[in-house]
Chain A
Amino acid sequence: MAEEKKLFKVTIDNITIDVEPGTSILNAARQIGGDVTPPAMCYYSKLKDSGGKCRTCLVEVAAGSTADPRPMPKLVASCRTNVMDGMVVKNITSDRVTDARNGVVEFLLINHPLDCPICDQAGECHLQDLSYEHGKGASRYEFKRRTFDKHELGPYIQLHMTRCILCYRCVYTADQVSNERRHGILSRGDHAEIATYIEKSLDNDFIGNVIDVCPVGALTDKTFRFKNRVWFTKPVDAHCKCDKCSGEVQLWMRGDEVLRVTARKDEWGEVKDTTKGEPGWICNTCRFERKKISDWVIEGPTQVNRHSVISQGHYVGVKKPHETIAKVMGGRDPKLLMNIKDVSEVNQVELSELKGPATSESFKQLKKGN
């Protein structure tokens, strides 16, 4: 196709980008990356119809398009609103958005048990990240948190309904990825819950993927339950020959032990595409049964974002986060009140520029350089 496609110009937090028509605001912001990307708890780019429910990705549209530059009166869910040519979007530069997002985080947390110390998801939980970035120090909620009757979902998947934020991702996954859906949302309003209507176990080949899509610790892996904290394990990329799925996975290892197998995830916490370009959902056999190191061909350590708690045990393959603040501020780079490098004699090292772990040698060398 030689014909050139017309791209839409959209400005998000003072950063302009050209995107394909039909892109959502959230995906346009993800193309820019960094701080201007709204958080998303329920949207999952690989699941059709997901999104629009959690309201954490609300943004302000300051100008609808070049043709109709009126602002939209309400905040819109960026995951389900498509960009128009000449649209101007405010995310972190809008007070209304910050305020609304604070509210949503508070709402999500009032009935959340906050049992992070015993939760297997801790460390890779989107709700933790969200409340760290947008939440307040304390809750104003002073009533009893809601609880649910326990539901058994079979030998592999553990359901903790109290932690659920009802994002519907697992429902869409069962519909779109696995052969059959046996669970769904029962009841309405704040007593709505994920359950199988009649106690049934979830056991078809791809149902384990609901664990990967769950943004919180509501659906966790029973074979990994209470085995370890994720930041003590090391993620490595590995693959195997599997006749059901691509076999491209991430192993979470401690020493020579494979503690957990998950799909590979991208920087938004979503399942990555495989090398063949298909969504990298993995089958139950790979996820739950292949727990021996001899089952796998190890490719190497996974790249981990330096901001993630999982990077704490890693010195190689750590990714530097994408910084956009200077661009958002129109070239003005916010400075700390005091730069530690101005006063410290030893702390002259840009740790992220070192290859491998920092040792006393690297400090000595730098001192000589001065």
Chain B
Amino acid sequence: MGRKLLLEKAHVEGIRHYDVYRREGGYRSVEKVLKTMSPEAVVEEVKKSGLRGRGGAGFPTGMKWSFLAKPEGVPRYLVVNADESEPGTFKDRYLMEFIPHLLIEGMICASYALGSNTSYIYIRGEYWWVKEILEVAVQEARNAGFLGKNILGSGFDCDIFVQPGAGAYICGEETALIESLEGKRGNPRIKPPFPAVKGLWGCPTVVNNVESIAAVVPIVNDGGEEYAKLGTGKSTGTKLISACGNINKPGVYEIEMNISVEEFIYSDEYCGGIANGKKLKACIPGGSSVPILPANLLLKTAKGESRMMTYESLSDGGFATGTMMGSGGFIVMDEDQCVVKHTYTLARFYRHESCGQCSPCREGTGWMEKILLKIDQGKGSMSDIDLLWDIQRKIEGNTICPLGDAAAWPVAAAIRHFRDEFEWHVTNPSEAVVRNYGLANYAKPLEVATPA
């Protein structure tokens, strides 16, 4: 059983409220930070921990903090990105719903480190009940003197506001989030300037994921070096994985990043194997926008090593034979699932969520959706598959924000790994509408090239 840092106490009765949270050792880190550490020391500690952003890109959090511009007389802001809208990802909701004070505690520490006197939680509109939980928690922290003016007599002021969005996926992109927080239309900004220089209301801003900020608490409590001992290599600490799909035990799991993907799917401690005794066909290990992998490539890398639940191992082989850790939305598909239909569903999602600002994404996502629907309905042709490939290639990398990439990658990966299934849909249209292609050869052991 791996160590738990974030969700260890999540199921203590009443931990949602301040009294219980405090009794269980909460807000120790705030005391430690405000009384014994300088802001620079906190940043240094986070750097030492090797914590990587948990929102998807995996950018080192300490590094991000040290990039923050610090001009005189200009306020700085910390914004917590709780706009968790990626299909398949629901880890932040769990954390905020069950143990909201952990996030607030982490935010106070991070605000102190960054010098932010006003910090925001931007939460997606659909999480309205979580917003209410957070607001209660913020008020409790304020009453207990952990928020407001001169916290614990240290002279540091900090307040936290919870701002709900209106439910747009694009507002999870940091610059679109900032625009939305300013009360404008949630269109991503053109970078540079980056938010670390010009963010919220033109001031230096750090936007971090909920889980990254929550992880600051154990880092401060135990020290960065202690935190870095968990996990493997550059993937330090623990990660929340929200597992869903055809598994026996869907849910949010906190894993130490040193277990294999096979263990995560089949062990009783985690997902508990594929439901109904079916076989594993494919998996999207990091939320809908990361490339899908067939079973054989998921469990073993192209080199024949077993794949681990770490940032490095999951992206081993690049996009040709690997995928990404992403935000940790682990979607498992069994042999009864149709990859074409699945890809269509994702394309429909991205078409609907594109902000419409730049042309490749606005026009390309809709086009891909239409072609995928056509193939799924058995009306496609072979040239449609090549056309799809060409469209995704022309969207990827040519857009303002990463939504274009996120829309292109799942389509690219589906064609790359499951082309025979697409072709079967084209050549057997009447069969394709009544039954699925099945497992085919996607779970067959990989051919490992013999060393010359």
Contact = CB atoms under 8 A, between A and B. Distances in A.
10 contacts: A53-B358, A53-B400, A102-B394, A103-B398, A104-B359, A107-B363, A165-B359, A166-B362, A168-B357, A189-B355
A140 B398 contact: no
B367 interface: yes
Nearest to A103: B394
A107 B365 contact: no
Interface in B334-378: 351-360, 362-367, 370
A77 interface: yes
B360 A55 contact: yes
A52 interface: yes
| A contact face: mostly helix, strand, loop, or mixed | loop
B397 interface: yes
A190 B359 contact: no
Interface string A78-113: 001000000000000000000110111011101100
B190 interface: yes
A104 B360 contact: yes
A190 B398 contact: no
A143 B357 contact: no
Interface in B407-434: none
A58 interface: yes
A52 B190 CA distance: 7
Given A53-B400, A143-B370, A190 B360 contact: no
Contacts of A74: 397-398
Given A55-B359, A166-B356, 17 more contacts: A52-B190, A75-B398, A77-B400, A102-B394, A103-B360, A103-B393, A104-B360, A107-B363, A107-B364, A140-B387, A146-B366, A166-B359, A168-B357, A185-B356, A189-B353, A189-B356, A190-B351
B359 A107 contact: yes
Give the residue among B358, B363, B364, B370 with the most A Cβ atoms within 10 A.
B363
Nearest to A165: B359
A189 B359 contact: no
Contacts of A192: 355-356, 362
A55 B367 contact: no
Contacts of B190: 51-52, 77, 80
B168 interface: yes
A188 interface: yes
B185 interface: yes
A58 B400 CA distance: 11
A189 B354 contact: yes
Contacts of A52: 190, 358, 400
A53 B357 contact: yes
A103 B351 CA distance: 18
A110 B364 CA distance: 9
Contacts of B400: 52-53, 77
B399 interface: yes
A106 B366 CA distance: 13
A271 interface: no
A190 B358 contact: no
A141 B358 CA distance: 19
B388 to A, nearest CB: 11
Interface string A127-143: 00000000000001101
A107 B356 contact: no
Contact of B185 (A107, A141, A185, A189): A185
B356 A58 contact: no
A111 B363 contact: yes
Contacts of A141: 367
Contacts of B364: 107
Nearest to A109: B363
Given A110-B367, A143-B370, A100 B394 contact: yes
Nearest to B370: A143
Contacts of A54: 358-359
B397 A190 contact: no
A168 B190 CA distance: 14
Interface in A137-178: 140-141, 143, 146, 165-166, 168
A191 B366 CA distance: 10
Contacts of B370: 143
A75 B358 CA distance: 14
A187 B355 CA distance: 9
A360 to B, nearest CB: 49
Interface string A237-254: 000000000000000000
A188 B190 CA distance: 18
A55 B398 contact: yes
Contact of A75 (B185, B357, B365, B397): B397
A189 B400 CA distance: 14
Contacts of B360: 55, 103-104, 107
Nearest to A58: B398
A59 to B, nearest CB: 12
A54 B358 CA distance: 5
B167 to A, nearest CB: 11
A53 to B, nearest CB: 5
Interface string A13-38: 00000000000000000000000000
Contacts of A55: 358-360, 398-399
A108 B358 contact: no
Give the residue among A55, A102, A191 with the most B Cβ atoms within 10 A.
A55
Give the residue among B356, B387, B395 with the most A Cβ atoms within 10 A.
B356
Contacts of B398: 55, 58, 74-75, 100, 103-104
B188 to A, nearest CB: 10
A59 B357 CA distance: 19
A104 B358 CA distance: 10
A190 B399 contact: no
Nearest to A185: B185
A106 B398 CA distance: 14
A185 B184 CA distance: 12
Nearest to A167: B359
